[in-house]
């Protein structure tokens, strides 16, 4: 058999362990930084605050220009629909938190939206958009959602066509 020996002079080592460890740490830090950046960017861009009219006025200074959802009841006397030209319309109305005490009104402006059938006095409105410095809340396109309280009435179980009984709690 052949007798072979090998001695390590240090020149044959391609990568030092310190270099490998440093590359691993730098790569890990870059990966964590990229994940944190993506999470923060996604959360700040897609969040939308939900406020009532009273909450909006309490925080109005910091909410102007932000994308919001505001809920309230429509005041029927304030509804105005204007056909400006063949392609432009302007729908305006006011919403409040409490119809019995309409102290703070938020003026809603919806441009180029059709006149909804459910837009009437006491309808619950949820509007998406942003407020400007003039105190108007400008809706996003398609940002007007309505629920009419008179549209859905509770049915008496005795009048049900299948003769169902009221559940026992």
Q: Which CATH superfamily is domain 49-147 in?
A: Nucleic acid-binding proteins (2.40.50.140)
- Contact assessment for residue 80 and residue 93, using Cβ atoms and an 8 Å cutoff: yes
Tell me phi and psi for residue 133, to 5 degrees. Answer: -70, -20
* 24-62 exposure pattern, b = at least 16 Cβ within 10 A, e = fewer: eeeeeeeeeeeeeeeeeeeeeeeeeeebbbebbbeeeee
Tell me phi and psi for residue 44, to 5 degrees. Answer: -75, -30
Looking from the CA of 124 toward its CB, the CA atoms found within 13 Å total: 9
User: Is the pTM here over 0.85, yes or no?
Assistant: no
Q: What is the DSSP string of 67-122?
A: -EEEEEEEEEEEEEEEE-SSS-EEEEEEEES-TTS--S-EEEEEET----TT--TT
- Contact assessment for residue 91 and residue 113, using Cβ atoms and an 8 Å cutoff: yes
Instruction: Read off the tokens for 159.
Output: 């009048």
Q: Rounded CA gap, 41 and 110, in Å? A: 29
pLDDT tens for the chain, residues 1 to 169: 567 776 666 555 555 667 788 888 999 999 999 999 988 877 765 567 888 888 888 888 888 888 889 999 998 888 999 998 888 899 999 999 888 877 888 999 999 888 888 888 888 899 999 888 888 889 988 888 888 655 556 667 677 666 666 566 5
CA angle in degrees (0–180, nearest 5) for 153-154-156? 130
Domain boundaries, the chain: 17-45, 49-147
């Amino acid at each position: 058999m052949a007798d072979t020996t090998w001695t390590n002079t240090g020149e044959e080592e391609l990568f030092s362990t310190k270099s490998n460890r440093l590359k691993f740490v730098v790569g890990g830090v870059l990966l964590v930084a990229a994940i944190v950046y993506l999470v923060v960017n996604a959360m700040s861009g897609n969040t939308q605050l939900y406020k009532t009219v009273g909450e909006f006025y309490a925080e109005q200074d910091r909410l102007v220009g932000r994308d919001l959802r505001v809920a309230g009841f429509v005041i029927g006397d304030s509804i105005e629909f204007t056909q400006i030209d063949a392609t432009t319309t302007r729908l305006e109305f006011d919403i409040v938190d409490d119809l019995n005490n309409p102290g703070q009104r938020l003026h809603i402006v919806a441009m180029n939206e059709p006149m909804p059938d459910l837009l009437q006095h006491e309808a619950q409105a949820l509007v998406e958009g942003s407020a400007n410095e003039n105190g108007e809340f400008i809706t996003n396109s398609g940002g007007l959602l309505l629920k009419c309280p008179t549209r859905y009435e509770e049915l008496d179980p005795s009048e049900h066509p299948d003769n169902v009984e009221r559940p026992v709690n």
